[in-house]
């Protein structure tokens, strides 16, 4: 196996360093032919098109952004070595992905130094809240083939989306196939990794101006694990469609399911290396968009999560838990346009139901009312103000107001500023969960914070630069803490925390200037938190955030045929001062409907820990092939 690893490392290095002159000449010729191909042109890197993104409920052409937003496009997903949403997000500075298990097994996602409970995950704008625990937020019932793009809002989003968008929100937008596609893929790698998948869709003309855009996927992935009791078996099935009936009506629906069985070596307690868990997540939604003089959006959704946890895999009777959570929600929204500007108004009603052998049988309901108003007092100045008022049956009313301003100084430069309050409601786990190492606290109170941010964006030619500085004043942060390594973890509110930070993003699209290098993407996030906590107190989550996080992505194309992406990532965690550097690389070839690829994650075999005592996988080599049957037989 070591010989195989050395071969891959040498092969990757050779591809990226040694290119004979005559092959370079052939590359230019091939590239010229490729630029004349419609399909290939669609794959070119260009500066992102203006799209409506997660930062606001109001339509926004992106020319005058007022929030820090990062959009991962479909081509970014295809060319990366990522095999899961977690791996895609891990290469974004400011997004902290702490994995207990790799390749979609389990991960906690936080933004700008928050905790995993403070990041809202959405699919097509529908909240994926889990009342049991935020550990299940990334039980995403989608394959990467289902995803069109991923929108990441950095900074508070409670004004737009409610409680769990405390420090940011991630919106996963699913694909709708406008061309027929049927992609079959197989992939294998070290540690007994195997994956097989089928994905595709097609546009269907129904007559009388109606069109149905469809998608469907199935994927099975398993591995023997990179260390004892880290094996996993994951099955995902997903389907959806969009009915377009003229310009004034559309109907979207989807049904998505993921099943995970995995060993959790020390996942929640290092003293129990044979933990085991099974989760089953079902998500269904129905959304109607119509124009009846004013635009109206109606959404109904259901999310169900089953969680079966065993503390000792070889002896389930020693300690086990069964949890089933259901969240049902309906939402209505409209946008009004007048001489005073644009106004988005809406309301959401949701019910959280939980049946648990540990937490008990519980339920709570919530009603939120939200409003945003956007005005342009002058041509290049945009002001937006809004708030969400949330009533929770356990906690009463909470209000999250905020305001943004954007100034388009010139065609290339825009400046922005924002101020917003955010809040988060405790999960049932924080309130009621007890086991041999953890104690709950039914007295914990909702978290609150004010965040202030200024920034700007410059776009000129091949370059785009975004930068911002921010300050977050938070109170009553919820964490599990203890005084010593022998004490139990206890949920409680920390008194206060002030976090100052800065974000920087750079994109250079160099395809038309260079033969091989197509794009350079760099990002960096710095955090300087100041906590008011008792000296010597150990933190499970809040005090373990990243201080420095940097990422560099190089996209190359060899001979006009072979795509090659290098991802470099550096992280340094607070307090422990643990730092780590990672390199991921992928080579891919595609032509006439066929694909071949080879990839390696953690190429340098860096020893690192997202959680103390849980080592991340070392170098992991894998390779695969795919065929798009629709293209082959077209």
CB 386 within 8 A of CB 402: yes
> How far, CA to CA in Å, does 515 sit from each of 11, 463, 557?
21, 18, 8
pLDDT in the model for residue 540: 74
- Residue 332 falls inside a structural domain: no
pLDDT in the model for residue 496: 83
> CA–CA separation, 30 vs 42, rounded Å?
16
User: Which whole number is the average pLDDT over 416-439?
Assistant: 90
User: Which whole number is the average pLDDT over 247-266?
Assistant: 94
Query: If you search the block for the tokens 């007048």, which residue do you land on?
Result: 338
Q: Which two tokens stand for residue 134?
A: 């935020």
- Choose the most confident range, by mean pLDDT, from 68-72, 450-454, 506-510: 450-454
* Domain harbouring 231, CATH code: 2.40.170.20
Residues 6+ apart with CB under 8 A from 107: 86, 97, 98, 99, 100, 101, 138
> CA–CA separation, 64 vs 67, rounded Å?
9
- Residue 187 falls inside a structural domain: yes
CB 326 within 8 A of CB 299: no
> How far, CA to CA in Å, does 501 sit from each of 50, 168, 437, 477, 555?
27, 14, 34, 18, 28
> CA–CA separation, 66 vs 381, rounded Å?
10
Q: Which two tokens stand for residue 157?
A: 């989003």
Query: Which residue range(s) make up the domain with 31?
Result: 2-242+403-632
User: Which whole number is the average pLDDT over 533-553?
Assistant: 81
Q: 582 or 439, which is more confident?
A: 582
If 0-12 CB within 10 Å is exposed, 13-18 middle and 19+ buried, where does residue 456 land? middle
User: Which whole number is the average pLDDT over 221-233?
Assistant: 96
Condensed to tens digits (0 to 9), the pLDDT of residues 428-483 reads 999 998 887 888 899 999 999 999 999 999 999 999 999 999 999 999 988 888 88
pTM above 0.85, yes or no: yes
- Residue 87 falls inside a structural domain: yes
pLDDT in the model for residue 11: 41
Average pLDDT of the chain, as a whole number: 87
Q: How many Cβ atoms sit within 10 Å of the Cβ of residue 149? A: 19
pLDDT in the model for residue 14: 36
- Residue 331 falls inside a structural domain: no
Residue 616 has pLDDT above 80, yes or no: yes
Q: How many Cβ atoms sit within 10 Å of the Cβ of residue 552? A: 18
- Residue 141 falls inside a structural domain: yes
- Residue 283 falls inside a structural domain: no
Q: How many Cβ atoms sit within 10 Å of the Cβ of residue 82? A: 24
Number of folded domains that form the chain: 1
Q: Which two tokens stand for residue 341?
A: 């500007």
Beta bridge partners of 465: 458, 506
> CA–CA separation, 77 vs 79, rounded Å?
6
pLDDT in the model for residue 10: 39
Q: How many Cβ atoms sit within 10 Å of the Cβ of residue 230? A: 23
Confidence of residue 263 (pLDDT cuts 50, 70, 90): very high
Condensed to tens digits (0 to 9), the pLDDT of residues 13-22 reads 433 433 333 3
pLDDT in the model for residue 583: 96
pLDDT in the model for residue 243: 94
> How far, CA to CA in Å, does 523 sit from each of 73, 443, 502, 551?
16, 40, 11, 5
- Residue 554 falls inside a structural domain: yes
Q: Cα 512 from chain centroid?
A: 31
- Residue 251 falls inside a structural domain: no
Q: Which two tokens stand for residue 330?
A: 């309906």
> How far, CA to CA in Å, does 498 sit from each of 70, 114, 436, 532?
24, 12, 33, 9
3-class secondary-structure state, position 88: helix
Condensed to tens digits (0 to 9), the pLDDT of residues 2-56 reads 443 443 343 434 334 333 333 333 333 443 443 443 333 333 333 333 334 466 7
pLDDT in the model for residue 531: 82
């Amino acid at each position: 196996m070591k010989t195989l690893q050395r071969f891959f490392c040498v092969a990757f290095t050779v591809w990226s360093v040694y290119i004979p002159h005559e092959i370079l000449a052939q590359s230019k010729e091939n590239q010229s032919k490729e630029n004349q191909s419609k399909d290939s042109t669609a794959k070119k890197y260009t500066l992102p098109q203006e799209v409506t993104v997660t930062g606001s409920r109001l339509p926004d052409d992106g020319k005058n952004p007022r929030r820090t937003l990062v959009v991962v496009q479909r081509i970014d997903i295809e060319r990366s070595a990522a095999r899961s949403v977690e791996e895609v997000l891990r290469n974004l500075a400011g997004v902290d992905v702490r994995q207990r298990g790799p390749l979609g097994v389990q991960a906690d996602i936080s933004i700008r130094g928050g905790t995993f409970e403070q990041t809202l995950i959405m699919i097509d704008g529908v909240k994926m809240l889990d009342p049991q625990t935020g550990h299940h937020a990334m039980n995403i019932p989608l394959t990467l083939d289902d995803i069109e793009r991923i929108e990441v809002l950095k900074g508070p989003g409670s004004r737009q989306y409610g409680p769990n968008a405390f420090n940011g929100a991630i919106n996963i937008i699913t694909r709708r196939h406008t061309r027929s596609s049927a992609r079959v893929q197989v992939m294998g790698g070290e540690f007994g990794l195997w994956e097989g998948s089928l994905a595709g869709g097609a546009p269907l003309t129904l007559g009388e101006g109606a069109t149905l855009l469809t998608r469907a996927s199935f994927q099975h992935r398993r591995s023997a694990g990179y260390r004892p009791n880290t094996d996993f078996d994951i099955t995902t099935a997903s389907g959806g469609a969009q009915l377009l009936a003229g310009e004034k009506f559309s109907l979207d629906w989807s049904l998505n399911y993921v099943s995970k069985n995995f060993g959790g070596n020390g996942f929640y307690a290092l003293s129990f290396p044979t933990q085991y868990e099974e989760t089953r997540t079902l998500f269904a939604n129905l959304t109607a968009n119509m124009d009846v003089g004013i635009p109206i959006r109606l959404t109904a959704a259901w999310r169900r999560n089953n969680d079966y946890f065993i503390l000792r895999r070889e002896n389930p009777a020693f300690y086990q838990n069964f949890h089933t959570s259901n969240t049902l929600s309906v939402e209505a929204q409209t946008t009004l346009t007048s001489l005073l500007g644009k106004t988005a108004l809406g309301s959401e009603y949701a019910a959280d139901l939980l049946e648990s052998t540990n937490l008990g049988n519980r339920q709570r309901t919530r009603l939120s009312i939200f409003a945003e108003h956007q005005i342009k007092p002058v041509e290049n100045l945009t002001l937006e103000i809004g708030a969400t008022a949330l009533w929770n049956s356990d906690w009463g009313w909470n209000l999250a107001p905020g305001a943004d301003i954007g100034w388009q100084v010139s065609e290339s430069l825009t400046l922005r500023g924002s101020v917003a309050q955010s809040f988060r409601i405790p999960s049932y786990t924080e309130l009621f969960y007890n086991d041999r190492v953890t104690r709950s606290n039914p007295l914990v109170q909702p978290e609150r914070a004010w965040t202030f941010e200024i920034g700007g964006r410059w776009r000129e030619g091949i370059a785009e630069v975004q930068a911002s500085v921010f300050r977050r004043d938070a109170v009553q942060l919820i964490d599990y803490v203890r005084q010593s390594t022998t004490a139990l973890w206890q949920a409680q509110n920390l008194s206060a925390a002030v976090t100052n930070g800065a974000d920087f993003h750079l994109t250079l699209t160099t395809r038309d200037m260079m033969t091989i290098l197509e794009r350079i993407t760099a990002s960096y996030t710095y955090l300087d938190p100041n906590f008011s906590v008792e000296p010597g107190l150990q933190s499970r989550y809040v005090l373990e955030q990243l201080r420095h996080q940097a990422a560099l992505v190089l996209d190359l194309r060899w001979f006009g045929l072979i795509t090659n992406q290098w991802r470099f990532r550096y992280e340094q965690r607070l307090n422990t001062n643990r730092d780590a550097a990672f390199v991921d690389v992928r080579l891919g070839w595609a032509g006439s409907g066929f694909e071949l690829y080879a990839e390696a994650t953690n190429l340098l075999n860096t020893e690192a820990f997202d959680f103390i005592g849980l080592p991340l996988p070392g170098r992991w080599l894998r390779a695969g092939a795919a065929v798009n049957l629709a293209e082959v037989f077209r």
